Every structure is written in structure tokens, then in C-alpha cells.
Amino acid sequence: MESLPKTVTQLFVTFVTNILANHNQNTGDSHTARELLTSVGWMAEHGVMNHLIVFDERYLKSYNVRNDKHLFSCFMMESSQPSNMDYTFLHLTLQEFFAALAHFIDYNADRLQKTLHAAESYNDGRAEILLRFLCGLSDSSTSFLLKSHVGELSVQAAGDVITWIQHKITKEQRSDKRKLLNTFYYLHENRNKALVSQCIGSNNIDLSGISLSPLDCSVLSSVLQSCTESEEVKLNSCHIRDEGLRKFIPALHSMKRLGLYNNDLTDSSCPYLASVIRNNQTLRTLNLSGNNLEGPHFRDLMEALTTSRIEGLLLYGNHLTHSSCPHLASGIKNNQTLRTLNLTDNNLEGPHFRDLKETLTTSKIAERVWKNGRRVRRFANVEGAKSANRLYSAP
């Protein structure tokens, strides 16, 4: 790799490769390393599937693991009781990596299918990282680094895993959202843009209602960047904060409708949201309702609106006050495409409300609203904040 690791699999491939390159007493002897990694890998998989992280001499003997090899001590630690020696991997994630690697060193189609079936059947997530490593090692550019140290890795194993991903994502798109997010991790680790395009394409993505960590946002972003165009992405009530939103920015460039309703977005999120709007000329509907965007940076969002092609903007329940009215007025006045604006459940009462009202009376929004919207016609004839808090556009 010419740059830093981009996936967890690449990170562990780099780590193991460095150990094989610098701590193998039989440098250049791929057979020795291959033999050890195979036996250690099968023992590791048994441990992953059975919640086992401590192995005694019986396990080593059962899986033909020779602890007299120097490389063995680079991957596993001994307990401090010589009379009853136990061994553990340096880290549980390393154990999971070796469990996946064994399938590419010592490929057996039936055994791999059995592992895939068993791993996805566990509801406690015990094999989730193992599955991600299997997907990551199926990327030839990721596994290539290991070739000079352990020999050829199985192309058939990679093909089997990719086929499994294809079936998996087709099934999960219609079922559990959390499981769908897991399949995005598989695609992220696999790094196959053609596969992403095939599996997701322009399908709508809805992960509403599940909490998305910054890492989840980063993974989802990397997958979405491989999609040429998505009609709609719904991330409502996902507890996305500034850090997660910042990671999304590179991916939010091609969708037509974006839902970010009821997240933890605040005024400090507005510069990121502004960047999303400026860099996406296909975006037509943006739902930012149920956040708290009131503050000095709200101006950035409205300035970005002036150069966008957004037709619908929903700002319901954002704690907006009269100080936001001049920015709203400027954004509406200078936008040529906006037709739908929802400002319900804000508090726009105050001296600057007149700026917004005057703009609406001459805007294209107002033209439609005055003709079609009973509630807004009432607003046209009533002064004050109560009507302002009911302001919407035509449906």
C-alpha cells in the first residue's frame, strides 16, 4: 500500500506482514509461516465461535500448533504458571484476523460455507469481526502484501465470500437496519466499487432509528462514495453529531433527497451542512427538522442555499428565533428553485420577522402558497409571531 491503511483488514495485514518480515527466523521460508498461521488460525476460529480466548496445551496439540517457533511468541502470550501453561492471542481482534486468514491459506469450500453460515447465525455478534476480515481479505490489493511471506492466498475463497456478500446485502436491504449497516462494513472492508454499485446502485437507503457512531458514519460514507447516484438517503433519529456529519460530507454529493430529521445537529453543524449543499447540485429535498440550528452559523447554511438547486427545505422545530429571519430572507430571496419551506414550531417573533415576511410575499414560494395554502393565506392577513410559527409552503 502506498498510503496508510484505509480499513481494519489493511491495518492487520500490515501488522502481521511486518512481524513476518522482521521476526521470522527463517526469512524467505513461506512454508514455515504458512504452516504456523494455518494451525493457529483454525484454533483461533474455534475460539471465536465458542467464546474462547484462553488456550491450554491440549488445544495446541489438537490443532498441531507448535509453540517452539519464534513466530508463535510474536502472536501469542504465555501465562505466568509454568505448571499449567495457558496461551492467549495478543488481542482478541488478532485472533479474529487469524481465524479469517486460515480460510485463505488452507481453503476448503465446504468449511468456508459452514463458517459463513454459522457466523451470521449468531445473534450476539461474536463472529461479526471475523466476517469483516473475511470480506477484507477478499480484496486482492489488501491480501497482496502477505503473498511474499505466506505464498498464494486462495482466489476461490475470495470468490465465495464475494458471492456471500451479494446474497447477504440483497436479503438485508429488506429486513433489519442494523444488519444492513453490518453489510456496509463488509463492502467497506472489501473495497470493491463495482460490487458496491451492483449491490446498492441507486437504491434508497434508510437507516433511520439506529444510532450511528462516527465510525459508522465513516463506513457508510465510503460505501456511498462508490454509488453514482442515490435517490434518497434517510438518516433520521440516528444521533448524528458534528463529527459524524463531517465524515459524511464526501459522500453526500449525488443524492436527490436527504433526511437528517431529529439528530443532534446544532448551530456548529451548519458549516458542514452548508458544504453538503454547495457540493451537491442534484439535491432537491433536505429535511433538517427536529434539530437545534439557531445561532451565528445558521447564516452559513442560508448562504449555501442561495447557490443550491434545492426545491424543498424542512426546518420544523429548530428553535429558530427572529435573529435568524434576515438569513432566512436572504436565502429565500436569492434561491431560484425553492418551492417548499417548513418553518413550523419555531419562535420567529421579534423585530426581524418583517424581513422574512416581506421576502415571502414576493418569492416563488409565496406565489404558490398564496394560491393553494389556506393556512398561509391566513398568515398573509395576520401580523405577529403566532402566524410565523405556523408558516409553511404549499404541499
In whole angstroms, what is the distance from residue 221 CA to residue 227 CA?
10
Exposed/middle/buried for residue 323 (C-beta within 10 Å: 0-12, 13-18, 19+): middle
In whole angstroms, what is the distance from residue 175 CA to residue 339 CA?
35
Q: What is the dihedral of CA 369, 375, 377, 382, to 10 degrees?
A: -130
Q: At a CB cut-off of 8 Å and minimum separation 6, what does 387 contact?
A: 378, 379
What is the grid cell recorded at 292? 437545534
- C-alpha distances in angstroms, 188 versus 3, 15, 223, 234? 17, 19, 6, 19
What is the grid cell recorded at 233? 438517503
3-class SS of residue 4: coil
In whole angstroms, what is the distance from residue 129 CA to residue 243 CA?
24
Residue found under cell 521476526: 23
In whole angstroms, what is the distance from residue 11 CA to residue 16 CA?
9
Q: At a CB cut-off of 8 Å and minimum separation 6, what does 280 contact?
A: 252, 253, 254, 255, 308
Main-chain phi, psi angles of 216, to 5 degrees: -60, -45
- C-alpha distances in angstroms, 224 versus 195, 245, 251? 12, 14, 5
Residue 1's pLDDT is what? 52
* β-pair type (257-259, 86-89): unpaired
Query: Are 258 and 238 a contacting pair, CB within 8 Å?
Result: no
End-to-end CA distance of the chain: 52
CB count, 10 Å around CB of 159? 12
H-helix or E-strand spanning residue 178: helix 177-190
Query: Are 337 and 311 a contacting pair, CB within 8 Å?
Result: yes
Q: In a structure prediction context, what are the per-residue pLDDT tens digits for the chain, which is 395 residues long? A: 567 899 999 999 999 999 998 876 665 566 788 999 999 999 999 999 999 999 999 999 999 998 877 788 889 998 867 677 899 999 999 999 999 999 999 999 999 999 999 999 998 999 999 999 999 999 999 999 899 889 999 999 999 999 999 988 877 666 788 888 999 999 999 999 888 888 887 678 899 999 999 999 999 999 988 876 678 899 999 999 889 999 988 887 778 899 999 998 999 999 999 998 888 888 999 999 999 999 999 999 999 999 999 999 999 999 999 999 999 999 999 998 999 999 999 999 888 898 898 888 877 675 443 333 334 333 332 233 333 444 444 33
Sign of dihedral through CA atoms 208, 212, 218, 223? negative
Domain limits of the chain? 1-199
Residue found under cell 451548519: 270
What is the grid cell recorded at 207? 437507516
DSSP string of 350-376?
STTHHHHHHHHHHSHHHHHHHHH-HHH
Query: Are 205 and 178 a contacting pair, CB within 8 Å?
Result: no
- C-alpha distances in angstroms, 126 versus 50, 132, 294, 348? 9, 12, 43, 51
H-helix or E-strand spanning residue 381: none
Residue found under cell 477484507: 136
* β-pair type (205-206, 232-234): parallel
In whole angstroms, what is the distance from residue 260 CA to residue 337 CA?
21
Q: How many residues in the chain?
A: 395
- Which pTM was predicted? 0.86
DSSP string of 66-130?
-TTSHHHHHHEEE-S-GGG-EEEESSHHHHHHHHHHHHHHS--HHHHHHHHHHHHH-TT-TTHHH
